[in-house]
Structure 1
Amino acid sequence: MEFLAEHWQWTLLALASSTFLIVDTIRQATDRSSLAPLDVTQKINREDAVVIDVREQGEYAQGHIPNAHHFPLSEFDRRMAELNKFKDAPLIVCCATGNRSRSVLTKLRQAGFEKVFNLKGGIAEWEKGGQPLATGRKAKGKK
């Protein structure tokens, strides 16, 4: 107890860090809006989910999920109305790592889209999971 009293700053920092880790772990465990690559594939195949890729043109051209619709983040707000035709379908939003797509997920929910999901880990995880990528019209084989 003497150590804790003398080093209260470190104790407070350790307590805050532990709390953050616990809250983040719980949040991730209960987050049903983030899907692993295999879950995304199942949603596409079983529920005709629509994939929205929000990466910029150069990233998208290097490889994207087959049949993904390209809505670069820099144009997203201006073009979001184009997605209204998919309002009843499950939407899966993806980017390189899952961070940019998370902000788009929030915008879509605010606009009334109810079935929106984020590709957990983005295209990086998609590739790591051995899922196919397309460039132009040709499919890029599994790695």
Structure 2
Amino acid sequence: MNLEQIQDFITNHPYLWSALVLALIALAVNEALRTVKGQKPIPANEAVRLMNTEDAIVVDTRSAADFKKSHILNAKHVPMAGIEERAKEISKNTDRTIICYCGIGNVAPQAAAKLRKLGYTRAYALKGGINAWQGDGMPVTSK
């Protein structure tokens, strides 16, 4: 595709072009806000750093059956459905670093957001969940 074809497309399809531009702007603004608010999921290597340097608490938000199959070492099992009610079980200290994870990384950001609303300022989500964790060669346990 050359520049002339792109210009023809823009000229002949102004609504499609406008929709594309608006979608890209919305995506950029959303990502910027997530980064500023600390909502951007953290990769496994950053999670390990926080576990080692800040003694981060790791929270598994999956079902009990999934937790029993495998989980990150020393993770606390607090299903997403009860995260708000059981927040004090995770930590009474709202300044403590907390890393939430799920199966594929779609639920943990919601759990971290709920914890932040409760005052836990350092609640993060693990990017890609336990699947990405294992994909990066990180250890899990079933004990």
User: By the TM > 0.5 criterion, same fold?
Assistant: yes
Structure 1 residues 44 and 9 mapped into 2: Cα distance closer, same or farther (>3 Å)? Answer: same
The structure carrying a bigger strand percent of its residues is 1
Contact persistence 2:113–2:123 (CA under 8 A): no
Deviation for aligned residue 1:44:
0.7
Q: Following the alignment from structure 1 to structure 2, what is the Cα–Cα distance between the partners of residues 28 and 76? A: 21
Structure 2 unaligned residues grouped into runs of 5+: 1-6
Structure 1 unaligned residues grouped into runs of 5+: 137-143
Partner of 2:22: 16
Task: State TM-score, norm by structure 2.
Answer: 0.80
Contact persistence 2:84–2:115 (CA under 8 A): no
Number of residue pairs matched?
136
Root mean square deviation of aligned Cα: 2.4
Structure 1 residues 115-142: Cα deviation after superposition (integer angstroms, max 9, x where no partner): 1111111111101110000102xxxxxx
Q: Percent identity?
A: 27
- Of 98, 115, 120, which aligns to 1:113? 120
Contact persistence 1:56–1:74 (CA under 8 A): no
Is 5-14 or 51-60 further displaced after alignment?
5-14
Structure 1 residues 86 and 97 mapped into 2: Cα distance closer, same or farther (>3 Å)? Answer: farther
How does 1:1-143 map onto structure 2 within 5 Å?
4-24=10-30, 26=32, 32-33=38-39, 34-136=41-143
